[in-house]
Amino acid sequence: MPLSEHMKSPPCRHLPIFILSQFITAFCLFAYIRLSKDPGQEVQAGQPSTLTTQPVNNPTTPQPGSELTILLWTWPFGQHAALRKCSKLLGIHDCHITANRSWYLKADAVIVHHRDVCSSPKTLPEGPRPPSQRWIWFNLESPTHSPNLGFMDNLFNLTMSYRRDSDIFTPYGWLEVLSQPQNFSIPAKSKLVAWVVSNWNPDSRRVQYYEELKKYIHVDVYGRKHMSLPRDKQLSTLSQYKFYLAFENSLHEDYITEKLWSNALGSGAVPVVSGPPRENYERFLPPDAFIHINDFPSAQGLAQYLQELDKDLVRYQRYFQWRTWLNPSERTYLAIHLCKACQALQMTQTYQTRPALSKWFH
C-alpha cells in the first residue's frame, strides 16, 4: 500500500525538534505573563484550572482602583458561566469583567461574540465606539459558519479567535511541555474506530468520505441519528477505541477543534483527521501524533493502514511516544478566553481598527 514519506519514516524522528519548539513557545508564554506590569482586576468564567506551562510565582498584587473593565456584550450562545479571578488562572493582574451593559461607556473594552450579533447591525453595541475603548471581535466558528461578516468591517480593533494570526489567540487546544518525563498508559482497547457527529449532512465532504471508508472497515458512529452517547460517558466510551475520526465540518486554516483535542486526544485514541493540510496540524502537534486522511490515495488505503496497526501493537504504540514529554490541554472554557483578553489588554497599548474583518477571516 503506498504511503506518504511521513508514514514510512521512523515515528519519533521529528519529536526532539517538536519538543524543543514547544519548550521555546512555553518559555515565551511564561515570560510574556511575568513581564506584565499594568494593573487591573480580572474575573474568570468557568471551571477552576491553571493554564501556564510553568508556574507563575508571587503574582503582583493589583493596585486598588486600577483595574481594567471588560464588558462581555452577550454571553456566548446565551449560556451564562460563573466568573472567577484570572490571577488564579494565569497569574496576572485581575480585570473587572461584567455582562452588565450599564458599564458600556466606562468599559475599557467590549467583547462581542460573533454568532450572537451577526443577525443584524442593530445587535452590536451602539456606535460610534468611544476613541479610548477597544472592541474585541470574538469567534470560534469557522468562516463557513460565520455569516454576515460584512457589516463588521471598520468596527473592531482587536480579534480573538482560534486563528494563530489573531490579536488574541484562543485555540481549541494546545500542548504543554512537561517538566519531567511521564509514563503514559494507553487505555485498554477493545474496539477499532469511532466517530461522534451531531451535524449529519449527507452532502458534506466528511460524510461522503465516511460512506466510502465504511465499505472497508467498521466504524461505530455516535450522535444525532446514530447511537446515543451521554456526555458523561463520552470519554470513557471513546477510550475503548484505537482510532477516532476527528473530521472537521469545514476546511480552514487553524480550524482544529475539540474533535481532535477532547474527543480523540482526551480519550486516549489516535486521531484520524480531516481538516486543513497536514502541515497545519503539525504546527500544533508532533507529526506522529495523528493520521491524516490525505496521507492515503483513497479511503480504502486508510482502512488497510488502520487494520495493519490494529494487528501490530508496536507500530500502534508509536503514536503515543510523544506523550512522554508533552501533554494535551483543552481548557478552552469561557474563563480562559476572558483571561487571555485581559492579559492582552494589559500588555498592548497600540490598537488599530481592522478595516476589512470579513476579508481577513475568509
Is residue 193 domain-shared with residue 325, that is, in the same domain?
yes
Q: Torsions phi, psi of 48, nearest 5?
A: -70, 145
Q: List strands edge to edge, sheet with 109-113.
A: 96-98, 69-72, 109-113, 134-139, 158-161, 168-169
- Give the count of domains, the chain: 2
What does the pLDDT read at residue 83? 78
43 and 94 in contact (C-beta within 8 Å)? yes
Beta strands 109-113 and 96-98, pairing class: unpaired
Is residue 203 a part of any domain in this protein? Answer: yes
Judge whether 47 lies within some domain. Answer: yes
> Within 13 Å and on the Cβ side, how many CA atoms surround 57?
0
What are 3-16's pLDDT values in tens digits? 333 333 444 455 55
Q: Are 186 and 325 members of one domain?
A: yes
| Within-domain flag for 275 | yes
Strands (E) across the chain are located at 43-45, 69-72, 83-85, 96-98, 109-113, 134-139, 158-161, 168-169, 174-177, 191-196, 220-222, 241-247, 270-274, 291-292, 326-329
Q: What is the pLDDT of residue 14?
A: 55
Q: Are residues 87 and 213 in the same domain?
A: no
Domain check: are 152 and 186 in the same one?
Answer: no
Model's pTM, two decimal places?
0.81
Residues 95 and 224 in one domain: no
Domain ranges, residue 60: 36-170+332-361
Q: Is the same domain home to 210 and 149? A: no
The more confidently predicted of residues 40 and 128 is 128
Q: Can you give the pLDDT at residue 16?
A: 55
292-344 confidence digits (pLDDT tens): 999 999 999 999 999 999 999 999 999 999 999 999 987 778 989 999 999 99
Question: In this structure, are 185 and 316 located in the same domain?
Answer: yes
* 261 and 163 assigned to the same domain: no
Q: Would you say residue 29 lies in a domain?
A: no
**CATH code, domain with 215:** 3.40.50.11660
> pLDDT confidence of 50, banded at 50, 70, 90?
very low
Instruction: Write out the catalytic residue numbers.
Output: 141
Q: How far apart are CA 355 and CA 166, in angstroms?
A: 14
Angle at 216 between CA 213 and CA 249, to 5 degrees: 10
Residue 341 lies in a domain: yes
pLDDT over threshold 70, residue 42: no
- Grouping H, G, I as helix, E, B as strand and the rest as coil, residue 329 is strand
Beta carbons within 10 angstroms of residue 230's beta carbon: 7
In a domain, 24, yes or no: no
Do 343 and 253 share a structural domain? no
Q: How far apart are CA 320 and CA 101, in angstroms?
A: 48
Q: What is the mean pLDDT of residues 84-92?
A: 90
Query: 146 and 264: one domain?
Result: no
Residue 66 burial class via C-beta count within 10 angstroms: exposed 0-12, middle 13-18, buried 19 and up: exposed
